[in-house]
Amino acid sequence: MTVEEIKDYATAFKKSMWSPVIDLLNLRGRLAIEKNQEVIDSQMPSKTATAVAHPNIAFIKYWGNINHELRIPTNGSISMNLASLETRTTVTFEESLDKDVLLLNNEPATDAAVTRVSQLLNRVREVAGIDVHASVESNNNFPTGAGIASSASAFAALALAASRAAGLNSDSDELSRLARTGSGSASRSVPGGFVEWYAGEDHETSYANSIAAPEHWDLVDCVAIVSDVHKRTGSTQGHQSADSSLLQSARVADAPRRLELCRQALLEKDFHNFAEVVELDNNLMHAVMMTSKPPLIYWQPATLAVMDAVQEWRSNGLEACYTIDAGPNVHVICTADDSQKVQEKLLKIEGVKKVLTAKPGGPAHLVG
């Protein structure tokens, strides 16, 4: 054997002696990398999610805030989700986007709408620890902005879809708080059925819970559409003017009593007491609206015609009462037994263009 051959032999021997050690180190390194990747993967958002939420009709109304930015209301409220009406929203976080984009009913949204959506997305991004923009697609199966609270179902669906897409597992109370920051009444579209929003005094204490399941009471909301034109003064602006009415403090001071009456009537399915408190609460809110600066008058002649007719029908034995949000359309709440008659009668009133009907609806939920 030459000296060179002895050297080669020694090098090969050394390599073969160390190779199991080297393999082991490589394996450990690979495992460490894979493990690390798993940690990173679990921190990454699932990226896309689709949620459905129903609008709701308030029986005891929310009007005015103690904190406008967080939408902490001056008083608690009670509502019912509306089953056949829905907003379906898909949120996708995409690395390639340099800003949030929003399609509303298949049309690019206004800058103001995008800003409002981005504010909610910012809260989600902050909690999830991500820095990625999102594309949001949202569709309603009912007319937008005409007294059917489209912002309620829109922000409830957005809160759920965005949280899920960002990998958060928020519970219903947390989603209700988040939805509230987009639109106060959206906090009530997160839980299902008949819902109470506890006014609270800060972000933590202001959220909504279900007080009875949708099956609890066979009520029907017959929405008399007298106009599907977008309202002139939106509720965000309206809440800010509530304190300019000298009636607002009286309305707010009496709210706990009305909440108790409504909760009780709902739980006992006492239509007579329910109807009285629902109409009283509605009239108080509209009295505040009309006496604010500037005055907000949402009613049209056909709105009053429906209110008048409903009161007459009830005095003749029909179980029906009215309530109206920040728009001209009238929600006629009636028992399922009387709903057919109510629809027929509503359609005979001049100015009523059509009637939408909805039964008590479930909670916001994921569909993809």
Binding-site ranges for ligand PMV (CB under 6 A): 58, 61-63, 77, 149, 151-152, 183-185, 235-236, 325-326
The runs of H, that is alpha helices, within 61-149 are 111-128
To ligand PMV, the closest distance from the beta carbon of 238 in angstroms equals 7
To ligand PMV, the closest distance from the beta carbon of 184 in angstroms equals 4
Q: Give the β-pairing of 194-198 and 107-108.
A: unpaired
To ligand PMV, the closest distance from the beta carbon of 325 in angstroms equals 4
Q: Which is nearer to ligand PMV, 33 or 297 (CB)?
A: 297
- The H-or-E segment that residue 157 falls in is helix 150-165
Task: Name 31's Cβ contacts closer than 8 Å, sequence gap at least 6.
Answer: none
- The H-or-E segment that residue 330 falls in is strand 330-335
To ligand PMV, the closest distance from the beta carbon of 81 in angstroms equals 12
Q: Which is nearer to ligand PMV, 128 or 326 (CB)?
A: 326
Q: Which is nearer to ligand PMV, 163 or 183 (CB)?
A: 183
Q: Whole-angstrom Cα distance, residue 367 to residue 247? A: 44
Q: Could you give the C-alpha distances from 132 to 47, 113, 125, 128, 175, in angstroms and in order?
A: 10, 19, 8, 11, 20
To ligand PMV, the closest distance from the beta carbon of 327 in angstroms equals 8
Q: Which is nearer to ligand PMV, 183 or 329 (CB)?
A: 183
Q: Which is nearer to ligand PMV, 52 or 324 (CB)?
A: 324
Say whether the peptide bond before residue 294 is cis (omega within 30 degrees of 0).
Answer: yes
Q: Which is nearer to ligand PMV, 236 or 249 (CB)?
A: 236
Of 334, 321, 336, 328, which Cα lies nearest the Cα of 352? 328
Q: Whole-angstrom Cα distance, residue 22 to residue 170? A: 45
To ligand PMV, the closest distance from the beta carbon of 103 in angstroms equals 21
